[in-house]
Amino acid sequence: MPFSFKKRSVLPGFGLTFGYTLFYLSLIVLIPIGALFLKSSTLTGSEFWATVTAPRVLASYRITFGAAFIAAFFNLFAGLLIAWVLARYEFKGKSILDALVDLPFALPTAVAGIALTTVFSVNGWLGKPLNALGIHVSYTPIGIIVAMIFISLPFMVRTVQPVLEDLEKELEEASATLGATRLQTFRRVILPVLTPSLFTGFALGFARALGEYGSIVFIAGNMPMKTEITPLLIITKLEQYQYAEATAIAAVTLIISFVLLLFINWVQWHNRRKYSL
């Protein structure tokens, strides 16, 4: 049998659609990213290394990846709770609450940034009581986390919600007839079914938080070494016409993100293979 790239299928149009997919992905994703790597390769190896390991750059990685991780982790719980309420209960005003979840998607991020800064500033509605408790949000890493939580929340809710809605009621009933308490049913039956979607939601939210710029720059204060995020550092380099340095930092961010997403996809694939062959 001759080698065939495509498996036999009754669905027509593989050639056309696959070609279009490749063309489109190249145009929109691969070519710009290729250009990025090309530009960063104008630096010599040692220059590249010096740029991406400069203390200020390393500090920005720490704050960006750290804050994105904490935000995504926080949303793992908050998002699951909101998805749970929306998927499992009927109440008045549910559709309004449902629409509210998508607001961070639609809002220009600068608007979100200004709104958060106003609310969390020293004299803001939330900033004032928090300040009294000794918690400073704006112009600190906490502010960055808050902004990231805000913009990545919908990813978590929207990935978990449909899975919760599709969850067979019989599984919980079976668990109850076998003598399990509600908590045991949640931990042993519901949570394992949700895990893949929780992973996906976490990955999407994390990726979104990593790339966020607009809302964070307002609330972070942007102090080098303390509250300066990587995307801002890249902009700063660009404004100083250090294009190669900017793309070098961008390339490193990109590679780290890609590896993380790949890892999460691998975990997903592994789980799927295990449970339903």
Q: Which residues bind another protein (CB under 8 A)?
A: 168, 170-171, 173-181, 184, 188-189, 192-193, 274-277
Q: Which is nearer to another protein, 195 or 236 (CB)?
A: 195
* Least Å from the CB of residue 251 to another protein: 39
Q: Quick one: 241 or 275, whose CB is closer to another protein? A: 275
Min CB(75)–another protein separation in Å: 23
Q: Give the DSSP H or E segment for 86.
A: helix 55-88
Q: Please identify, using beta-carbon distances, which residue of 6 and 169 lies nearer to another protein.
A: 169
Task: Tell me how far apart the alpha carbons of residues 159 and 81 are, in angstroms, rounded to a whole number.
Answer: 13
Minimum CB distance to another protein, residue 200 (Å): 16
Residue type present at position 96:
I
Report CA 215 to chain centroid distance, whole Å.
15
Closest approach of another protein to the CB of residue 271, in Å: 8
d(Cα 149, Cα 139) in Å, to the nearest integer?
16
Q: Which two tokens stand for residue 239?
A: 């404004």
Measured CA distances, 18 to 11, 23, 29 (Å) = 12, 9, 16
- Cα within 13 Å of Cα(219), Cβ side: 33
Residue nearer to another protein on the CB measure, 165 or 168: 168
- We find the least distance from the C-beta atom of residue 89 to another protein, in angstroms, to be 18
* Measured distance CA(249)–CA(240) in Å, rounded: 14
Q: Which of 236, 260, 261 is nearest to 249 (CA)?
A: 236
Q: What's the one-letter identity of residue 24?
A: Y
- Please, what is the minimum distance in Å from the beta carbon of residue 171 to another protein? 5
Which one, 176 or 254, has the nearer CB to another protein? 176
As measured in angstroms, the least distance from the Cβ of 10 to another protein is 24
Kindly tell me which of 66 and 162 has the beta carbon lying closer to another protein.
162
C-beta of residue 38 within 8 angstroms of C-beta of residue 243: no
Q: Read off the DSSP letter of residue 133.
A: T
- 212 neighbors 46 (Cβ within 8 angstroms): no
Between CA 152 and CA 159 the distance in angstroms is 12
Q: Which is nearer to another protein, 102 or 165 (CB)?
A: 165
